[in-house]
A and B are shown apart, each in its own frame.
Chain A
Amino acid sequence: MSSSTRVTRALGVSALLALAVNAWWGLSLSPPDKVQGQLVRILYVHPAVATMCYAGFGLCALGSIAWLWPRTRSPRWDRLAVAGAEVGAVFCAATLITGSIWGRATWGVWWTWDARLTLTALLFAESLGYLALRRAVDNPHSRALVSSVVALLMALTVVLDHYATAWFATLHQHTTLFKPNPTIHGWQLVTMCWSFVAFGLVFAWMAVHRFRLEALEERYETEGYLTALESRRAEGQALPAVPEGDRVLAGSTTSAARVEPSS
């Protein structure tokens, strides 16, 4: 059993190629910035990674809403939710790391408690809580129900996080690309847009694999249980008929042997 198919392999190769092009354009073709100089090159990683983090939690919210809606409820949506959350958590960690590196170089600090950074940290904590919750609850229905509620909370945090720079006074800069007149041009704009394509492909590859892995895990558990049941049936049929009184001793021969000499 494998989580890969011809399509996912093609997706993986495309993602690798796109990342290579991104590195080439970002490090070579794109010029340094007037203010930030060479530091601007992290622009071709950090915003795209942060957007994929939002996409992951968006996917999680979508799956959770579809699972909560009685008409569309299906384990498939729950799988989509967990795939989105897990990939979103990975990208959220990458966002915090790349943002921290960029912050140290440009702002002069690794971390500060402004609204954008705090909400991103909160989002990461929520995603870890979501994943921990899924491990803690055994019943599939309860697990999906409780985690769906947390997923909606994460979606709310994503909205707050996205608009944090507009709603609050922050050290973090405002949006560059997603506005009517983007304040970036030329190769910088082209490379930045390409970084979204590259990390989008990485995101898609990871999400598809995680979704399929969840399906395989469920299948493995079901098949594993049935195999174990068959095995015990076979063992039971192979056992000789043991009289009722001897059954206890047969099950604990060592303890019986130890007890015998002293009695």
Chain B
Amino acid sequence: MALSEARPQAGQSAPGLPAGTPHVAPRRRKSLATRRQKVVAAVIVVGAFSFLLFRGLTNALNYYLTANQAVAQRARLGNTDFRIQGTVVPGLRDTGGKLYFTITSHHVDVHVVSTGAPSQLFRVGIPVVLDGHWQGSVFSSFQIMVQHGSTYTAAHQKARTAAPPGGRQPR
């Protein structure tokens, strides 16, 4: 039996009750929220949705510029903050809280001075995404994000396990 068919409306007497029974509608499952709360909840959800969508669209479509793109667009970018991507080349220098290094992409090099603390994976040869802006011909960065790839290789170590099924021995 469907619930909507069985339930009498509020204010009506339930079928089968004697005439002397007070006219009280059976208790329906109370909605968890009042109308105002529902509107507030809807506004919050729509607001959060719109915010995420806005941030997502504005950032995700152009999350970073590669080093060569950033050099090509240097005049347009001016001093505005943006993200630059490239691979760290040898010549890393750490001098009292400032990190000097060079990144490259499509054979274009960009010198970087960074005040941001890099993650433990930061090293020569790893791709990075840097937050910052142009300061003349140098990129001034305040945040370093390491961009690791999707390839996984077992590190050289003493083999403490048997040969994996169908796999390779760690070398």
Contact = CB atoms under 8 A, between A and B. Distances in A.
Interface of A: 28-29, 31-37, 39-40, 43, 104-109, 112-115, 118-119, 121-122, 125-126, 128-129, 132, 135-136, 138-140, 164, 168-171, 173-176, 183-190, 221-222, 225-226, 228-229, 232-233, 235-237, 239, 241-242, 247, 251
B121 A169 contact: no
B55 to A, nearest CB: 5
A129 B52 contact: no
A189 B20 CA distance: 75
Given A33-B153, A229-B14, A239-B21, 4 more contacts: A31-B170, A129-B45, A135-B31, A190-B165
A130 to B, nearest CB: 10
Given A113-B56, A168-B61, A236-B20, A186 B154 contact: yes
B20 A239 contact: yes
A108 B117 contact: yes
A36 B168 CA distance: 19
B6 interface: yes
Interface string B77-92: 0000000010000000
Interface of B: 1, 3-4, 6-7, 14, 16-18, 20-22, 24, 26-27, 29, 31-33, 38, 41, 45, 48-49, 52-53, 55-56, 59-64, 85, 116-122, 126, 129, 143-157, 161, 164-170
Interface centre among A118, A132, A176, A239, by most chain B C-beta atoms within 10 angstroms, is A118
Contacts of A226: 6
Contact of A36 (B14, B21, B22, B148): B148
Contacts of B119: 104-108
Contact of B59 (A29, A118, A187): A118
A170 B63 contact: yes
6 nearest A-B pairs in the assembled complex, by CB-CB distance: A186-B167, A108-B119, A115-B60, A236-B21, A118-B56, A183-B151
Contacts of A139: 4
Given A107-B119, A225-B6, A113 B145 contact: no
Which applies to chain A's interface (DSSP): helix, strand, loop or mixed? helix
B129 A171 contact: yes
Contact of A35 (B18, B41, B45, B126): B126
22 contacts: A36-B148, A36-B152, A105-B119, A106-B146, A108-B122, A113-B63, A114-B59, A115-B60, A121-B52, A125-B48, A132-B45, A138-B29, A168-B60, A171-B145, A184-B151, A186-B154, A190-B164, A221-B3, A222-B6, A226-B6, A239-B20, A251-B22
Contacts of B116: 108
A125 B29 contact: no
Given A36-B148, A140-B3, A186-B164, A229 B26 contact: yes
Contacts of B18: 236-237, 239
